[in-house]
Amino acid sequence: MSKTIQSALISVYYKDGLEPLVRLLHQNGVLLYSTGGTQTFIEQLGIPVTAVEDITGYPSIFGGRVKTLHPVVFGGILYRRNLAEDVAQASRHDINPIDLVVVDLYPFEETVASGASDEDIIEKIDIGGISLIRAAAKNYEDVLIVSSRNQYADVVNLLTEKQGATDLEDRRRFAKEAFAMSSGYDRAIHNYFAGSTTDSSDFRQLPAQSLRYGENPHQQATFYGDLNALFDQLNGKELSYNNLVDVDACVSLIDEFTDTTFAIIKHTNACGVATAPTARETYLNALACDPVSAFGGVIITNAKVDLETAEELNKLFMEILIAPDFDPEAITLLSSKKNRILLKRKPVEFSPKMFKTLLNGVLEQDKDNQTETASQFKVVTEKAPSDSEQRALEFALKICKHTKSNTIVLANDGGPSHGQLLASGVGQTSRVDALKQAIEKARTFGFDLKGAVMASDAFFPFSDCVEIAAEAGITAVVQPGGSIRDKDSIDACNQRGMAMVTTGVRHFKH
């Protein structure tokens, strides 16, 4: 059942991203009601808006604790338009319909995380907002509820496409997301009073954002989480399911590095990683690893993107670029492609746990937060790696840890603060195949493997990988060790003058 929106109540804490929606509603002749700061925001846009207190007859009282809690407001949302008795009562009590409710909630979890006082935290328990959301969601047959700023762009597209109207399916979808958000909000409050913390095992408490589709167009998908806490999106379209999976892989990998680093990800695996003193040099070295796979990839750096680097980046078609900061001129240039997604990272602490649905249950495990350094390497060969080889082995191991098993990573070191991925063998059913794939790929892009190093995510049960690596010119190897046939690969290294170190830690990634 299609319904045209004729009136809307807008009362939000965060105003960013709101303007396009307000302007569209105004263009469609929608009567706007609002409160406090949101009312001022709309008035400053030069758009007429009616104060809620003008229709309730009551001002905002008790320090803002009571603004919208009134039968005129809730009656306008809750009365059933297809029920004659409700319509008659609305008319008798001068209750006008409200067809759209745009409300977000006080930032309770953010206030808790900030270390605020108990008094300040309690004041961030939203009463009116959560009640408006539940009322509008309950009456989704007649009312559209927008309960998060993450939904503004979606609503603008929806109302533009349908000329100011919504279908029952649309309203039910937004109601579902509203109830997911409200239940999560209440869970966070409960956890505060219970003195407990939350993690992603309580994912349904997080804000819910419907995605265009899942891994493939025939799959529905929802993201539970607050992307606004992670990134400021400076440009581009809405993130998709596959975008989010790649962004997660990017963030996990880049956080392994402290030197200036660029990583290029394709289907969650690194096709280019480099460290160097300057952002531009680092990016170009990362791109050189595999410029073919880099096309359409996701790029992340831990360095500020300046104009010089942006000019190089702008030559490549990429889906997403993630950085901790951008020069203004770089943003202007990179935003010239309207669909290119630019994300500015914010410092956020992630859950130490990972979850995966499996069979008729859920797997939980600790995240793989362990990364071995040269101080933990055990030299098992007659020859020890040089300082340069040790740096390259550390670099390769970081990438190996974040690459699909079975994997082999080939890398080199160009001096302090210099490292480059040469190639990797990704997700192969045998380690020999992974190594052969990596060698062939490195040679395809013109890399000389003489003096390169090799990292493996698991031990070598046979000497074959060492023999193949030696023939390619590789001089040092890092691997977990632990095979009953470790001596075979160690002997093979000794016979060929190679260095091998073991870590005692396996890094499978399935």
Tell me the CA distances in angstroms from 386 to 334, 380, 487, one per residue in order.
41, 14, 22
Q: Whose structure tokens read 């603004």?
A: 67
Torsion region of 45: left, alpha or beta (phi above 0 gives left; psi -120 to 50 gives alpha): alpha
Phi and psi at residue 445, in whole multiples of 5°? Answer: -100, 20
Between the alpha carbon of residue 378 and those of residues 67, 89, 353, the distances in Å are: 67, 81, 29
- Cβ(417)–Cβ(275) under 8 Å? yes
Of 267, 337, 344, 436, the active-site residue reads 267
| CA–CA distance, 97 with 384 (Å, rounded to integer) | 79
Q: Is 479 left (phi over 0), alpha (psi -120 to 50) or beta?
A: beta
Of 70, 138, 162, 337, the active-site residue reads: 138
Please give the structure tokens belonging to residue 44.
């400053």
Dist. CA 357–CA 359, nearest whole Å: 7
Q: Do the beta carbons of residue 340 and residue 312 sit within 8 Å?
A: no
Between CA 390 and CA 499 the distance in angstroms is 10
Taking the C-alpha atoms of residue 344 and residue 326, their distance in angstroms, rounded to an integer, is 8
Residue 85 C-beta-side C-alpha neighbours within 13 Å: 0
Judge whether 192 and 121 are in contact, CB under 8 Å: yes
Q: How many residues does the chain have?
A: 510
Is 190 labeled as catalytic in the residue annotation?
A: no
Q: How far is Cα 13 from Cα 366, in angstroms, rounded to an integer? A: 35
Active site residue 267: yes
Kindly list the catalytic residues.
Answer: 138, 267
